[in-house]
């Protein structure tokens, strides 16, 4: 049940985090952008979503370095990766609900 609740939490909050990141980019508020990216890094790590976590970590660092060009590239990549994760979520949630297994090391598919 913990894994399912984590997936639900991710699904319910992911778009808010992306919005925070996009607003941070648009407003030049790299501190807010870094904070939102850092929060996503943690969630991605818990879920075992390594590609998402790596992007968020890179975005966090780019924001702390004020690297606007890299931030823009990473935000585009992040949006694509989140869309990929969102597509996988319903099937994964159903699988976890059916199996009720707690021994999964990776909840979201890696590339």
What are 60-105's pLDDT values in tens digits?
999 999 999 999 999 999 999 999 988 988 888 888 777 765 455 5
Q: Give residues with Cβ within 8 angstroms of 83, minimum separation 6.
A: none
Phi first, then psi: give them for residue 67, nearest 5 degrees. Answer: -90, 85
Q: Which residue has the higher pLDDT, 111 or 3?
A: 3
Is the CB of residue 8 less than 8 Å from the CB of residue 69?
no
The answer to whether residue 53 scores a pLDDT higher than 80 is yes
Mean pLDDT of the chain: 87
Type and span of the H or E element at 107: none
In 10 A of CB 111, how many CB atoms? 6
Q: Quick one: pLDDT at residue 81? A: 95
Q: Quick one: pLDDT at residue 27? A: 96
pTM: 0.80
- Please give the Cα distance from 33 to 64 (Å, whole number): 9
The answer to whether residue 43 scores a pLDDT higher than 90 is no
């Amino acid at each position: 049940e913990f894994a399912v609740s984590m997936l639900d939490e991710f699904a319910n909050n992911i778009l808010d985090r992306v919005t925070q990141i996009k607003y941070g980019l648009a407003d030049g508020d790299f501190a807010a952008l870094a904070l939102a990216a850092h929060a996503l890094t943690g969630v991605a790590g818990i879920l075992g979503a390594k590609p998402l976590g790596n992007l968020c970590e890179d975005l966090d660092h780019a924001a702390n370095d004020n690297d606007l060009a890299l931030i823009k590239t990473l935000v585009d990549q992040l949006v694509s990766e989140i869309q990929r994760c969102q597509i996988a979520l319903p099937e994964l949630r159903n699988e976890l609900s059916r199996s009720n297994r707690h021994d999964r090391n990776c909840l979201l598919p890696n590339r």
